[in-house]
Amino acid sequence: MNRKLWLALPLIVFALFVLAVGWRLSSPPDPTVKSRMIGKPVPEFALPAALPAKPALASADLRRQGPRLVNLFASWCVPCIAEAPVLLDLKNRGVAIDGIAIRDTPTDIQRFLADHGDPFQRMGDDKASQVQMAFGSAGVPESFVVDASGVIRFQHVGPIMPQDVPTILAELEKAR
Amino acid sequence: MIAEAGLAALWLAAALAVLQLGVAIAGDRLGDLRRIVVPVAVAQGLLTLFAFAMLIWLFLITDLSVQLVAANSHSDKPWIYRFSGTWGNHEGSMLLWVTVLAAAGAALAIFERRLPAKAMQATLGAQAALAIGFFGFLLIASNPFARLNPAPLQGQGLNPLLQDPGLAFHPPTLYLGYVGLSVAFSLAVGALITRDVGPALARAMRPWVLGAWVLLTIGIVAGSYWAYYELGWGGWWFWDPVENASLMPWLAATALLHSVNVLAARGGLRAWTIMLAVVAFSMSMIGTFLVRSGILTSVHSFAVDPERGSFILMLLLVYIGGALGLFAMRIGSVREGAQFDPVSREGALVANNLILTVILGTVFVGTLYPLFVEAVSGEKMSVGPPYFNAVTGPLTLILALLLFIGPLLRWRRDSRPNLRRIAAPVMATVLTFALSFAVWPAMSALARLGFAVAAGLAIASFLPLAGRNLRRTPLTIWGMVISHLGIAVAIAGAASDAALTKETLVAAAPGEVHRVGPWQIRFNGVDPVAGPNWTAVEGHLVATRGDRAVRLDPQSRFFSDPPTETNEAAILTTWDGQLYTVIGHQEGNRWQLRLWWKPIVTFIWLGGGLIALGGLLALIGRLFREGRRRRGATEAQEAFA
């Protein structure tokens, strides 16, 4: 290599460093983990019922009467409490919502629903987070829009807040 | 008042830095007035030291009306942690950085007498230019003396992991090393401005590089040991971005330390030495930036602050971009140094420099690769130990092999090096390698080679002493021998830790006995204990080997301010290794125990200590010789007068 290029090499490396770091400073990192399952059929699963009074949830149920919103929640999850009234609002607007309780117990779920309302049609009990991981979810709460043919169309990470409702409704409309 | 005094001193020091730069630029036009650059540099250093002392005082008396103290301290803490809390946070550590920068400038102004006046002026100008930027950063974006009104009743405490005596000295040592390299940087920039690159520059630069390198070595070795016993993970190097940030300037400084000798002794490697001097301190600044901006995810997590990040990035752009640009423009006009053959002392040092530079490049790329990938493709990824170990391990061994012969070669040309002199170390290497198959049939090739090379180097490192009168051997040679021996010792420790560690992970009920390596460990149950600002569960273990029995009491600590849980490993050091025990969570009536037996793991830090000690001896030798030379020179002048 010629000498000129050698002399400029550190400068070039430094310029690359500045570009990468400048990019990071201008676009702070997005801490959410996006699921790789978006656009793919829901994973096969058949969860037991979380509550005796509520029907259980299996992948076959999601393939039938879509589009549906699948909400991953837990009674021990504080942001889930913040999300609860918004889910009730969505239910009142005619959205079909199914729940998956993550690492929870029937008594705790019962109390949680009594305190914060029950928007769910069906509910599966995911004691070991296996279905959660199959969905590509990294935490609670998370919600997935599943279309009429059973394909995951949209993932919402974190609690659904009132300002998120239009997006969720639009995604459900698209999935029809 | 204390805070205001500190702040005023800081502003004054910043103003003096501006004055210093102005005088350096105006130069000869000022006539004799230009000499004030020296007292200005000294005053700037003293004022900054004063400001730092004021901040320490505020922390010691826990003045909660100062925002920084309220956010990071707590009056219940033992005094040593109130003291070290001064730099256990962003603003305080930046003030420490600036203090060292200004103090180094002052020391340069006082002690450096050999450099031509012009080069000295340019160098002090460069040092002032560096200081101005960091003063600006402190005063505009990270004022450590900001007040809080009303003052809170109690402070928020210091991260418990940082409440360790080791931490009182680890950051200052590292910072002294990092920032000590600023002098080499300023000298290089001064030399580029005055177009005067020669042995005089190298001799002026050498003690600074050596001193900074010794401190960096101590800082890194201490940090490694701290992570080893405090984090309770049993590992000694994690390739965490912050560790890499301290390793990169060290690698550059190690290369510089060797090439500056070639420049001083033979007048060779001019462009290369200047480049390394610029790169070494640039790596210090980049390292500090990466840590302080929170750009890279690390255990040393600091909040991402885009405003501060952009500020330091601008400083980096000006200083590093400026220095590298100046280098690219000017270096063509620097005379080539003395020529040498590939087989010569210089040749071996060039090989050393190239390998160190490749390791540096590897660590740099690995550390920043996730950022590049995400910038280009949006994919998130991380680069872990497998990459770093695979690349740096073999390169380090090649470097160690080079040490067999390098120090024995003659300067300039060694057409027929006497290879018989290295027969003993080569034999030791081959024998150890062969024997290792008998002793440890299953071992990774890298660890096997590590033991073999370490055995050879342990002998080879003493060869430069052969045929010398040991009493009259200069300290610098002793320094080299001890440092190179330290490398052999550290490699042996690392290889042993990688290949011979025994681990037992159990959920133990009280009364059970478990085995790890040569030890039988009896678990006798747990007790609650309380410290000044924590409570803990303390496990009681009795370790027996042969007829020796030792009590070990690892703790799992819970701190209330802020609420955090830490592991206090109980470690037993014997002549042949360490027994490392950690207690974890409760499972029913059982407790998780993690037990490691690590043969000769202590060699890692022992070797690191020897490396630093060698550097220290070489530094003392140089300064001593320098003092004698200076006295000799004055006597000669007096004789002539």
At A1 the pLDDT is 45
Question: Other C-beta atoms within 10 Å of B515: how many?
Answer: 13
Contact A16 B372 (CB under 8 A): yes
Measured CA to CA in angstroms, residue B8 lies from B2, B4, B13, B137 at distances of 10, 6, 9, 15
For chain A, say whether B321 makes contact (Cβ under 8 Å): yes
Residues 6+ apart with CB under 8 A from B64: B70, B148, B151, B152, B153, B154, B155
A20 → closest Cβ in B275, B279, B368: B368
Cα–Cα distance measured from residue A88 to residue A83, given in angstroms and rounded to the nearest whole number: 9
Output DSSP code: residue B382.
-
Which chain B residue is nearest to residue A4, measuring alpha carbons?
B328
Q: Which helix (H) or strand (E) holds B103?
A: helix B90-111
Cα–Cα distance measured from residue B543 to residue B272, given in angstroms and rounded to the nearest whole number: 54
Checking ipTM against 0.85, whether it exceeds it is no
For chain A, say whether B331 makes contact (Cβ under 8 Å): yes
A176 — pLDDT class (breaks 50, 70, 90): confident
Which chain B residue is nearest to residue A25, measuring alpha carbons?
B306
Range 349-368 of B in CB contact (< 8 A) with A: 364, 368
Cα–Cα distance measured from residue A125 to residue B294, given in angstroms and rounded to the nearest whole number: 39
Beta strands in A7-122 (DSSP E): 46-47, 57-58, 68-73, 97-102
3-state secondary structure of B540: strand
Contact A10 B279 (CB under 8 A): yes
* Nearest alpha carbon to residue B177 among B281, B277, B264, B98: B281
- A85 token code pair: 């009234």
Which chain A residue is nearest to residue B317, measuring alpha carbons?
A18
Contact A31, A11 (CB under 8 A): no
Cα–Cα distance measured from residue A93 to residue B98, given in angstroms and rounded to the nearest whole number: 61
For chain A, say whether B618 makes contact (Cβ under 8 Å): no
Of B371, B373, B377, which to mutate for an interface test with A (greatest number of A Cβ within 10 Å)?
B371
B327 → closest Cβ in A7, A18, A20: A7
SS3 content of chain A, % helix, strand, coil (to 5): 45, 20, 40
What would the mean pLDDT of A12-29 be, rounded to a whole number?
Answer: 83
For chain A, say whether B303 makes contact (Cβ under 8 Å): no
Contact B375 A20 (CB under 8 A): yes
Beta strands in B53-117 (DSSP E): none
Contact B328 A28 (CB under 8 A): no
Q: Counting Cβ atoms within 10 Å, is residue A92 exposed (0-12), middle (13-18) or buried (19+)? A: exposed
For chain A, say whether B295 makes contact (Cβ under 8 Å): yes
Contact A149, A63 (CB under 8 A): yes
Over the stretch A31-80, which tens digit does the pLDDT of each residue have? 666 778 888 888 999 999 988 888 999 988 888 777 899 999 998 888 89
Contact B595, B578 (CB under 8 A): no
In one-letter notation, the amino acid at residue A131 is: V
Over the stretch B406-452, which tens digit does the pLDDT of each residue have? 888 888 777 777 778 888 999 999 999 999 999 888 888 999 999 99
What would the mean pLDDT of A103-124 be, rounded to a whole number?
Answer: 91
Cα–Cα distance measured from residue B57 to residue B49, given in angstroms and rounded to the nearest whole number: 12
Cis before B599 (ω within 30): no
Contact A7 B313 (CB under 8 A): no
Contact A10 B324 (CB under 8 A): yes
DSSP per-residue string spanning A68-85: EEEEEE-TT-HHHHHHHH
In one-letter notation, the amino acid at residue A80 is: C
Chain A residues close to B309, C-beta within 8 Å: 21, 25
Q: A46: distance to nearest CA of chain B, Å? A: 30
Chain B residues close to A24, C-beta within 8 Å: 295, 371, 374-375
Chain A residues close to B295, C-beta within 8 Å: 21, 24-25
User: Would you say the C-alpha torsion B387, B393, B396, B397 has a positive or negative sign?
Assistant: negative
Residue with tokens 């809080």: B148
Measured CA to CA in angstroms, residue B565 lies from B534, B537, B541, B561 at distances of 9, 11, 21, 11
At B280 the pLDDT is 95
Q: A109: distance to nearest CA of chain B, Å? A: 25
Contact A25 B320 (CB under 8 A): no
B275 → closest Cβ in A10, A18, A28: A10
Neighbouring C-alpha atoms within 13 Å toward the C-beta of B410: 9
Which chain B residue is nearest to residue A6, measuring alpha carbons?
B328
Contact B232, B582 (CB under 8 A): yes
For chain A, say whether B111 makes contact (Cβ under 8 Å): no
Q: Report CA B228 to chain centroid distance, whole Å.
A: 16
B306 → closest Cβ in A11, A19, A28: A28
Chain A residues close to B368, C-beta within 8 Å: 17, 20
At B352 the pLDDT is 92
**DSSP H helices in B112-240:** 117-136, 165-194, 199-230
At A127 the pLDDT is 87
At B641 the pLDDT is 47
B368 → closest Cβ in A17, A26, A28: A17
Of A16, A17, A27, A33, which to mutate for an interface test with B (greatest number of B Cβ within 10 Å)?
A17
* Nearest alpha carbon to residue B219 among B178, B173, B187: B173
For chain A, say whether B255 makes contact (Cβ under 8 Å): no
Contact A141, A77 (CB under 8 A): yes
Q: What angle do CA B36, B20, B331 make, to 5 degrees?
A: 115
Contact B332 A10 (CB under 8 A): no
At B563 the pLDDT is 67
Contact B301, B294 (CB under 8 A): yes
At B492 the pLDDT is 96
- B321 token code pair: 């971009």
Cα–Cα distance measured from residue B217 to residue A161, given in angstroms and rounded to the nearest whole number: 52
Chain B residues close to A22, C-beta within 8 Å: 313
Cis before B563 (ω within 30): no
Segments in chain B below pLDDT 50: 641
Q: B573: distance to nearest CA of chain A, Å? A: 41
Over the stretch A140-160, which tens digit does the pLDDT of each residue have? 899 999 988 889 999 998 899
Contact A134, A57 (CB under 8 A): no
Cα–Cα distance measured from residue B538 to residue B557, given in angstroms and rounded to the nearest whole number: 8
Measured CA to CA in angstroms, residue B459 lies from B455, B474, B496 at distances of 7, 20, 19
- B363 token code pair: 């660590």
Residue with tokens 């085995």: B515
Contact B326, B193 (CB under 8 A): yes
Which chain A residue is nearest to residue B278, measuring alpha carbons?
A10
Q: A86: distance to nearest CA of chain B, Å? A: 31
Cα–Cα distance measured from residue B124 to residue B34, given in angstroms and rounded to the nearest whole number: 11
Measured CA to CA in angstroms, residue B137 lies from B100, B134, B164, B289 at distances of 15, 5, 29, 12
Cα–Cα distance measured from residue B430 to residue B190, given in angstroms and rounded to the nearest whole number: 49
Cα–Cα distance measured from residue B13 to residue B132, given in angstroms and rounded to the nearest whole number: 9
In one-letter notation, the amino acid at residue A173 is: E
Cα–Cα distance measured from residue B407 to residue B433, given in angstroms and rounded to the nearest whole number: 24
Q: Counting Cβ atoms within 10 Å, is residue B84 exposed (0-12), middle (13-18) or buried (19+)? A: buried
